[in-house]
Amino acid sequence: MPGAVSPPVLSVERDAEGVAYAAAHSFWQSIDAALTERPTFRIALAGGHTPAGMYHELVRQRPTGEVWKRLQFFFGDERAVGPEHPDSNYRMAKAAIFDHAPVSPPQIHRIPGELRPLDEAARAYEKTLAGEPLDLVLLGVGADGHTASLFPDSPTLAEKSRWVLPATAPPGNAVRERLTITLPCIASAREAWFLVTGSEKARVVARIHKPGDDPPPPAALVRATRVVWFLDRAAAAGVVSL
Ligand code: 6PG
């Protein structure tokens, strides 16, 4: 049923390498299945550090193949910097995927973090997304519960229609000015996968999956037709006993 939401699936692996392998394996399984029904597969990549291991594993598992030509790469968020900046999420994905896989520039849709004003950059990326649902949104979670660049107490969390907005990260985050897809954009996706590893994330993962009285962290607000959490044992320590 369109828009039906099933409970999140938790996939717990021994360690970060296990998460990278499992997520990459599931990625290729999902794509092989989807491409029997559709010509292309639209993925929004996550930024930060955690996904890099999965991105390398994607290329290791499928270094070549026509399947790569049927993928369209987008981004869930970007820092308000250009593509060469050390903190650019696009730059991380380029180093981990695009420099090694048979992907051509027209398949890569980076968020123009260098554009100003940022709301124009956001509207430009909404045009790039063209209102077409993503097949898969990859996400990480910060220790404060943010995901993409949707931060706690941010007005971006209340957005009901825009798919891309400017955002501001709290002090202490790399590059405070951001651009991010919104909860409505993620909710329109077929699947949203979280990749979360490390003991420093155990508390926030528990807050997300065992809600108490606190306001839910932004990552807990994520809906999609199917949501999967790829966790290592350290990050899952507060939700599953192993
Ligand atoms: C970003 C990411 C952000 C990230 C989390 C977790 O641009 O930083 O979109 O949401 O996924 O901060 O980052 P780590 O994987 O580095 O812990």
> What are 130-165's pLDDT values in tens digits?
999 999 999 999 999 999 999 999 999 999 999 999
Q: What is the pLDDT at residue 214?
A: 85
Continuous segment of H or E residues that includes residue 65: none
| Whether residue 173 has pLDDT greater than 50 | yes
**Token pair of 61 as six digits:** 């598992």
**For ligand 1, is residue 46 a contact (CB within 6 Å)?**
yes
Q: How far is the CA of 181 from the centre of ligand 1 (A)?
A: 14
Measure the CA–CA gap between 57 and 198, rounded to whole angstroms. Answer: 18
Q: What is the pLDDT at residue 1?
A: 39
Q: What is the pLDDT at residue 186?
A: 98
**For ligand 1, is residue 89 a contact (CB within 6 Å)?**
yes
Q: How high does pLDDT run on average in the chain?
A: 96
Q: What is the pLDDT at residue 129?
A: 98
